[in-house]
Every structure is written in structure tokens, then in C-alpha cells.
Amino acid sequence: MKIDMFEMDKTALMVIDVQGRLAQMMHRKKFLIEQIQIMIHAAKLLDLPIFWLEQYPQGLGETVDEIKQLMQDIKPYEKISFSSCGQQQLLTDLRSSGRSQLIVTGIESHVCVYQTVLDLLDGQFQVAVNQDAVSSRTKANKNLGMARMQQAGATITSTEMVLFELMRTAEHPSFKQISKLLK
């Protein structure tokens, strides 16, 4: 199976359900939050659209402040289905964005991230799951989610790998800023 390189004009970032107390229970929580922050900063530098999801915020709480503060100019999509694709407005907006490649971040890798990725693949999107920027409450569930998404056809990537893939060259106008984010 040929894997296409991710390209800036085809790519968007998705941030799924990094909310409330659940976010505080994630395996390697601090690292997870830092990696999602880097991805949001980089998406803005690279002019990638960001699709931000919240699972039933009235019950689970809002997105954690460290991430929410970086997306004040974006409105979250509220959902009750585990898959983000159950949110019809999201699907409409994804299609109208013209973006066919999605970098997925968020929680939990074996539930909402997993189900979203399967539905995105079903919808003919190319999906890269950033292993640095997804998690579950246990390492075992994170690993299971990652394995199942890869078996389904998702590309597994890392923060550094996908950002350098998008820029392609050290001559990219955002190279120095992105490099600083990664240090």
C-alpha cells in the first residue's frame, strides 16, 4: 500500500476531547498536553485548519485550559457520539474545507480517537495519528487503539515527523519557528 506524504494545502489538524477530569487521568498526561500544544502552534504557523471536538462538555467538562487558550479563535464542535464523525456539521465543514488529509490528536486512543479514525478512513480521508499527541488512561489501551488504527489503514506518525514532512525543507518560511517548538 502506497502512503502519500502529507501536504500543507491538503492537511488539517483534529483535536479530540481533551477535556476535564478525564484529561487529567491520561497516561503521560503532561507529555500529551505539551505535544497537542505544539501541534496547535504549528498548525497556526503552517495555516492548517483546526477542527476541535468536545464530547458532551456539560458532563465531561470543557477542554483543558492549556489547550483551550490556544484555540480561542475557533469554535468547538460538541458531540455525543464517540466518533467525531457523528457530528454532521463537522463532516460538512471537513468536506467544504477541501482538506483530505487529517492529523489526529486527542483522547482516548481506544475509544473516541479510534472510532473517529475508522470513520474518517471510511469517508476516504487519509489519516495520520500522532502517537505523541494521543493517549488513554492506560498504556495498554493506548497501544491497542494505535494498533487497531494502523491495521485499519491509518498512518502512525509523531509530532516531529509530521511537521518536518509538511515543511519538506529547511528553507520553509516557518522552519525556524517550528524547530523552536520542537526543542
- Catalytic residue at 79? yes
pLDDT digits (tens, 9 = 90+) for 4-58: 789 889 999 999 999 988 999 899 999 999 999 999 999 999 999 999 999 888 8
Binning pLDDT at 50, 70 and 90, where does residue 3 land? low
Residue 64's contacts (CB-CB under 8 Å, 6 or more residues apart) are: 18, 19, 20, 23, 24, 33
Q: Please give the average per-residue pLDDT across 98-122, as a whole number.
A: 96
pLDDT digits (tens, 9 = 90+) for 78-99: 999 999 998 899 999 999 999 9
The percent of residues above 70 in pLDDT, for the chain, comes to 98
HSE of 23, CA atoms in CB hemisphere, 13 A: 27
- Which listed CATH number (3.40.920.10, 3.20.20.140, 3.40.50.850, 3.60.15.10) goes with 8-181? 3.40.50.850
* Omega of the bond leading into 171 within 30 degrees of 0 (cis): no
**Catalytic residue (choose from 4, 9, 10, 17):** 17
Element (H, E) at 175: helix 175-181
Please report the pLDDT score of residue 99 as a whole number.
96
Are 54 and 107 in contact by the 8 Å Cβ rule? The answer is no
Q: What CA–CA distances, in Å, run from 65 to 68, 133, 140, 156?
A: 5, 16, 27, 27
Cell representation of residue 163: 511537521
Active site residue 112: yes
Which value, in Å, is the radius of gyration of the alpha carbons in the chain?
A: 15
Domain boundaries, the chain: 8-181
**What are 141-151's pLDDT values in tens digits?**
999 999 999 99
What is the mean predicted confidence (pLDDT) over 146-170?
Answer: 95
Asked if pLDDT for residue 67 goes beyond 60, the answer is yes
User: Which listed residue (9, 30, 79, 139) is catalytic?
Assistant: 79
Catalytic residue among 73, 75, 85, 112: 112
Q: Distance between CA 119 and CA 126 in Å, rounded?
A: 11
| pLDDT band at residue 65 using 50, 70 and 90 as cut-offs | very high
d(CA 34, CA 29): 9
pTM of the model: 0.94
DSSP states of 112-159: HHHHHHHHHHHTT-EEEEEEEEEE-SSHHHHHHHHHHHHHHTPEEE-H
